[in-house]
Amino acid sequence: MTDEANEIEGDLYEHHNIKVDAGQELLRIDKFLMDRLPNVTRNKVQAGIKEGFVKVNGSDVKPNYKVHPGDEISVMLPEPPKDEELVPEDIPLDIVMEDDHLLVVDKPAGMVVHPAYQNWTGTLVNALAFHFKNLPEMEGNDGRPGLVHRIDKDTSGLLVIAKTEKAMNGLAKQFFDHSIERTYYALVWGVPEEEKGTIDVNVGRSLKDRRITASFPDGDFGKNAVTHYEVLQDLRYVSLLKCNLETGRTHQIRAHMKYLGHPLFNDETYGGAEIVKGTVFTKYKQFVQNCFKMMPRQALHAKTLGFIHPITRKKVFIDSELPEDFASVLEKWKNYIDHTD
C-alpha cells in the first residue's frame, strides 16, 4: 500500500465522550467499552487503548484499568464504526480531464473526499459512485472507490481518480515512488527569510492531541516529510508561497508551515486564524477579519498535478485556477499593501 493510502486510512474520529455513572461497579475498561460502543470488536478496543486512543480523565490507561464512578472516558479510534453503505449521490463534479482509465477533478473547498464518521454523505466519493460505475478500490481501502490520494476538506484543488485496476496500480506506484508532481499555493502569515527553501522535518500525530499533525525536528517521532517552497509574492504581513511535495503526509504543508513560523492564513487548527503579523490598529484588525470572512478556511489550494499516464505513458500536467475566495483575498491583500505604503 502506498504512503498516500496509509494517509487515507490514518484519520481519527472522536466517537464518544462517556461520563461513568455514579452507580457503576468496577469493571475492566475494555469490557465496559464493548457494551457501550456499537460495531466495535474487543480486539479493536484493546488495540485502541494500547495505542493511546482511549483516555480516562485525560490520561492514557492500560486495558486492565477498572473504570470508576465519575470517570470521564474519551474514545478515538483509527477507523469509525461503519454501519452505512456507500450511497451514490447526484453531486456535480468539476472534471478537468478524463479518459477511459482515469479522471482529474477540481475539488471545491468544503467537500469531504470520502465517507467517514459523521460524514457518510455529500462527499466526493458519493459523487463518484453516482457518476461512475465499478470504480476500483485499493487493497485495504474499502468503500473509497477510485481514490489513490486525497486532500483535506477545506483545501481546494486537483485530485486524480482511477477508473481501472491497472490505472490505480500505476498511479499508486508513482505516489509510492514520490514521482507525482504536486504544487500547492498557500497564503501564509509573514514572509519566510529565505525566498526558496526545503523543510525536511518528520511529521506525525501530535503526542498531545492526536487529531492534529505535529513536526518532530529531532526525527524521534513521525515519518519523513519533505516540502519545497518558494515565495511568489511578498505582501509584507502575508506571502503567497508555492509548495511542492515530495511526500504526502496528513496535513504536511499545514504542519510544516506552522513549524517554520508561518502558519497558513485562517488555518484555525494550526494557529493561523488569528492575527500573527501586522499592526495593532483597529482598521488593520477589521481588514483581517473581513478577509477571514471572505475565505473561512485555510488558504491552501492544490494547484497543479503532474504524472505519467499509467496506460499511455504520456506526461499529464494539469494546472487549475485559484478559486474565487482565495483569489479575492489575495487581491484584497495586494490592494491593502499598495495603499498603505
Q: Which residues are catalytic?
A: 152
Radius of gyration (Cα) for the chain, nearest Å? Answer: 22
Amino acid at 226: V
Q: Are 198 and 228 in contact (CB under 8 A)?
A: yes
Cell of 127: 459523487
Amino acid at 51: E
DSSP for 171-202 reads HHHHHHTT--EEEEEEEEES--SSSEEEEE-E
Alpha carbons 212 and 14: distance in angstroms, whole number: 13
Half-sphere exposure of 255 toward its Cβ, with a 13 Å CA cutoff? 26
Torsion of CA 322, 327, 333, 338, to 10 degrees: 100
Cell of 171: 498511479
SS3 of 318, please? strand
Alpha carbons 154 and 267: distance in angstroms, whole number: 10
79 CB-near residues (< 8 Å, 6+ apart):
9, 13, 44
| Residues in a beta bridge with 306 | 181, 317
